[in-house]
């Protein structure tokens, strides 16, 4: 046990002893103190047998510490009753006697047999509902405590797990879903994703971090895994020495969304291939050992070293090199992607001669057992049985011969998984929403489907790239702050009734023009959102300059002008955060 870990354990042990010997009223723990105490008392990854016991004893036998804390280390957390945050107390809704479970898919990789297993679990235990998430996972719902060990065992048996998809640990390590296949990638970084996952997941040295820790590793020049919003991200870089080119990585740290978004900070370092794993470990240790981040659960992410504690790129690099025990070489110039649309939908050539990938747009990530099986069958029949998930909630079949692409496309389209989709269908992303999430303010999945269908009918001529992200609360699990049009869930009182509403953020972007969407001061009832977006997009179509995309159009207009486009009239701005109650930090996918 490292010195800082031992120090924390002794500190907590002493605190418990003091509280046990008090004769006066015990001191009430803060949320952060309780979380830190519970984490030091138990490593949930070592306690699978307890989960088996809970299954046989029933939900009433499960201790509160497991319900609210330990289950999360296994990717399991309680499911809301459909009322969302406003249906509960203190910004968190009421829980049902069911669980959500998130399946880890490192780099988004899986095979046909695994997809069939997920289809079977979805059909038998999860109410026929599965969701692809924005971190390339697949999430199930309606899991009972009785069935939980069987579900986890079935995942183990096919080479999958739910471990570390929630909780204060390293979440699913994301990467380009086309790693090893993309014609223009600088390197296939997927082996590094696997190595870092093996290092940080199910390792007792890293089960107790201050908060979630998100990593992206990619050799893709399109940066499709959104390094800008990860805690730690490696993007491809090339340097030339002695006339020879060497592929390596740039490194960024401290990115994240939620209620205080922060773009990852680039460090002045060139990271060689063999250094990625030790650098990842060192950054994880910096995060783990940052005691200041353990004092407030709402400000415990790595980004708060920069936002709250005065760290800079230089000080972080100095501490990183101290942990490593050696200096990293200086960074090299990099080419950031310029307005690249990163959804992997359609039929595209791979680097392998004669092979293609076929990407299907899965609207709001919601997918059925029938569709999962159809995709698995197509991958096996026409490809080599490999599939990939994307962080735009889509599904890709890879290694398809040219002559079979039409058959795969037809099969996916027949299953309702569109390969040729509208800009609205392709661009829509949605968080879990109040249907299952206790932190959400609005319902998102059904709303997003209705919204897309409305826009397809109203503006069929719109064919520009569009990122339309819907999130049910300020936590940005739907990543609305990096979307062209970001919708943030609110509530409005209309004719005496509380109704779902959305606040608009416009012009978010990643890559060369990375910026968070501007809160433009416009909010409306959910039922009025199609009207507002139609007015906005028709204004764009009517007034755009030659070659001007949406991001550029939004950038050259003031918030007042954008608000008038949305409303169809001049309106004063409304406050963004006018929803009732304070919403806790969420658990995005």
Is-same-fold flag (190-219+227-324; 346-421)?
no
E strand spans, 411-458: 428-430
3-state helix, strand, coil in the chain (%, to 5): 40, 20, 40
Give yes or no for a contact between 570 and 243, defined as CB atoms under 8 angstroms apart: no
In terms of Cα–Cα distance, which of 168, 186, 188 is closest to 178? 188
| Predicted local distance difference test score (pLDDT) of residue 386 | 98
Give yes or no for a contact between 48 and 73, defined as CB atoms under 8 angstroms apart: no
Residue 366 structure tokens:
């919601």
C-alpha 343/C-alpha 396 separation (Å) is: 10
Percent of the chain exceeding pLDDT 90 equals 88
Crossing angle of helices 559-567 and 529-543, rounded to 10°: 120
The rounded radius of gyration (Å) of the Cα atoms in the chain is 24
Architecture of domain 426-567: 2-Layer Sandwich (3.30)
pLDDT classification of 92: cutoffs 50, 70, 90: confident
Q: Which residues pair with 215 in a beta bridge?
A: 232
Q: Report the SS3 class of residue 152.
A: helix
* Number of Cα atoms under 13 Å in the Cβ half of residue 434: 26
Architecture of domain 190-219+227-324: 2-Layer Sandwich (3.30)
Crossing angle of helices 445-458 and 529-543, rounded to 10°: 40
Which are the contacts of 28, defined by CB distance < 8 A and separation ≥ 6?
A: none
pLDDT at 589 over 70: no
pLDDT classification of 340: cutoffs 50, 70, 90: confident
Q: What is the pLDDT of residues 433-459, one digit of tens each?
A: 999 999 999 999 999 999 999 999 999
pLDDT at 462 over 90: yes
| Predicted local distance difference test score (pLDDT) of residue 14 | 52
Per-domain residue ranges of the chain: 190-219+227-324, 346-421, 426-567
pLDDT classification of 6: cutoffs 50, 70, 90: low
Residue 222 structure tokens:
């399109």
CATH code, 346-421: 3.90.480.10
| Predicted local distance difference test score (pLDDT) of residue 214 | 98
Which are the contacts of 266, defined by CB distance < 8 A and separation ≥ 6?
A: 250, 251, 252, 313, 331
Distance of CA 379 to the CA centre of its chain: 25
**Mean pLDDT of the chain, nearest integer:** 93
Average pLDDT over residues 372-386: 98
Which are the contacts of 318, defined by CB distance < 8 A and separation ≥ 6?
A: none
Percent of the chain exceeding pLDDT 70 equals 93
pLDDT classification of 90: cutoffs 50, 70, 90: confident
pLDDT at 25 over 90: no
| Predicted local distance difference test score (pLDDT) of residue 8 | 53
C-alpha 186/C-alpha 180 separation (Å) is: 10
C-alpha 428/C-alpha 225 separation (Å) is: 17
pLDDT at 465 over 50: yes
Q: What is the pLDDT of residues 385-440, one digit of tens each?
A: 999 999 999 999 999 999 999 999 999 999 999 999 999 999 999 999 999 999 99
pLDDT at 586 over 50: no
pLDDT at 85 over 50: yes
C-alpha 159/C-alpha 292 separation (Å) is: 37
DSSP 312: -
| Predicted local distance difference test score (pLDDT) of residue 63 | 97
Average pLDDT over residues 553-561: 97
| Predicted local distance difference test score (pLDDT) of residue 286 | 98
C-alpha 575/C-alpha 216 separation (Å) is: 34
Q: Report the SS3 class of residue 84.
A: coil
| Predicted local distance difference test score (pLDDT) of residue 21 | 46
* Number of Cα atoms under 13 Å in the Cβ half of residue 27: 13
Average pLDDT over residues 66-71: 96
pLDDT classification of 241: cutoffs 50, 70, 90: confident
In terms of Cα–Cα distance, which of 172, 175, 252 is closest to 214? 172
| pTM for the full predicted model | 0.93
pLDDT classification of 463: cutoffs 50, 70, 90: confident
| Predicted local distance difference test score (pLDDT) of residue 577 | 64
Greatest CA span in the chain, whole angstroms? 79
pLDDT classification of 2: cutoffs 50, 70, 90: low
Angular region, 254: left φ>0, alpha ψ -120 to 50, beta rest:
left
Average pLDDT over residues 339-350: 92
Q: What is the pLDDT of residues 289-300, one digit of tens each?
A: 999 999 999 999
Number of Cβ within 10 Å of residue 30's Cβ equals 12
DSSP string, 528-585: GHHHHHHHHHHHHHHHPPTT--HHHHHHTS-HHHHHHHHHSS------S--SSSPPPP
Q: Give me the count of residues in the chain.
A: 589
Q: What is the pLDDT of residues 191-235, one digit of tens each?
A: 999 999 999 999 999 999 999 999 999 999 999 999 999 999 999
In terms of Cα–Cα distance, which of 475, 448, 441 is closest to 366? 448
Average pLDDT over residues 124-151: 98
Give yes or no for a contact between 386 and 107, defined as CB atoms under 8 angstroms apart: no
| Predicted local distance difference test score (pLDDT) of residue 320 | 98
| Predicted local distance difference test score (pLDDT) of residue 452 | 98
Average pLDDT over residues 547-552: 95
Give yes or no for a contact between 339 and 549, defined as CB atoms under 8 angstroms apart: yes
């Amino acid at each position: 046990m490292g010195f800082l870990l031992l120090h924390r354990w002794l500190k907590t042990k002493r605190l418990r002893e003091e509280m046990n010997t008090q004769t006066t009223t015990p001191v009430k723990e803060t949320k952060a103190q309780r979380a830190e105490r519970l984490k030091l008392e138990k490593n949930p990854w070592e306690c699978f047998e307890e989960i088996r016991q809970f299954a046989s004893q029933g939900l009433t036998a499960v201790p509160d510490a497991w319900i609210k804390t330990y289950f999360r280390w296994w990717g399991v957390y309680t499911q809301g009753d459909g009322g969302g945050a406003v249906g509960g107390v203190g910004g968190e809704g009421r829980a049902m006697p069911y669980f959500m479970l998130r399946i880890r898919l490192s780099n988004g990789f899986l095979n046909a047999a695994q997809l069939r297993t997920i289809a079977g679990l979805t059909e038998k235990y999860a109410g026929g509902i599965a969701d692809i998430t924005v971190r390339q996972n697949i999430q199930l719902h309606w899991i009972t405590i009785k069935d939980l060990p069987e579900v986890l065992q079935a995942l183990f048996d096919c080479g999958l797990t739910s471990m570390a998809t929630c909780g204060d640990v390293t979440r699913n390590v994301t990467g380009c879903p086309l790693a090893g296949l993309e014609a223009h990638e600088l390197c296939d970084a997927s082996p590094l994703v696997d190595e870092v996952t093996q290092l940080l997941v199910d390792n007792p040295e890293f089960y107790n971090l201050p908060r979630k820790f998100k990593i992206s590793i990619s050799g893709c020049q399109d940066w499709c895994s959104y390094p800008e919003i990860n805690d730690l991200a490696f993007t491809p870089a090339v340097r030339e020495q002695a006339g020879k080119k060497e592929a390596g990585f740039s490194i960024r740290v401290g990115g994240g969304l939620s209620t205080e978004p922060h773009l990852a900070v680039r460090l002045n370092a060139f990271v060689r291939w063999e250094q990625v794993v030790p650098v990842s470990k060192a950054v994880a240790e910096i995060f783990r050992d940052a005691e200041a981040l353990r004092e407030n659960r709402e400000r415990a992410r790595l980004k708060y070293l920069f936002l709250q504690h005065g760290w800079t790129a230089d000080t972080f690099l100095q501490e990183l090199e101290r942990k490593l025990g050696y200096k990293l070489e200086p960074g090299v110039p990099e080419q950031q992607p310029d307005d690249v649309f990163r959804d992997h939908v359609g039929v595209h050539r791979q680097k392998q001669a004669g092979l293609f990938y076929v990407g299907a747009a899965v609207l709001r990530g919601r997918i059925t057992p029938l569709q999962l099986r159809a995709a698995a069958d197509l991958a096996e029949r026409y490809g080599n049985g490999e599939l990939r998930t994307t962080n735009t909630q889509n599904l890709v079949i890879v290694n398809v011969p040219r002559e079979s692409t039409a058959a795969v496309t037809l099969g996916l389209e027949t299953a309702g998984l569109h390969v040729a989709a509208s800009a609205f269908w392709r661009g829509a992303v949605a968080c879990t929403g109040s249907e299952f999430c206790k932190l959400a303010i609005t319902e998102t999945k059904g709303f997003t489907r209705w919204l897309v269908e409305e826009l397809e009918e109203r503006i069929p001529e719109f064919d520009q790239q569009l990122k339309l992200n819907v999130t049910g609360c300020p936590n940005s699990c739907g990543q609305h702050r990096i979307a062209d049009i970001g919708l943030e869930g609110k509530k409005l009182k209309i004719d005496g009734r509380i109704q779902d509403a959305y606040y608009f953020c416009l012009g978010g972007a990643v890559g060369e023009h990375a910026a968070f969407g501007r809160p433009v001061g416009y909010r409306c009832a959910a039922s009025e959102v199609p009207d507002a977006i139609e007015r906005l997009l028709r204004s764009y179509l009517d007034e755009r300059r030659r070659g001007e995309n949406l991001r550029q159009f939004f950038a050259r207009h003031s918030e007042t002008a954008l608000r008038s486009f949305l409303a169809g009239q001049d309106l004063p701005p409304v406050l963004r955060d006018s929803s009732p109650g304070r919403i806790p930090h969420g658990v995005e996918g």
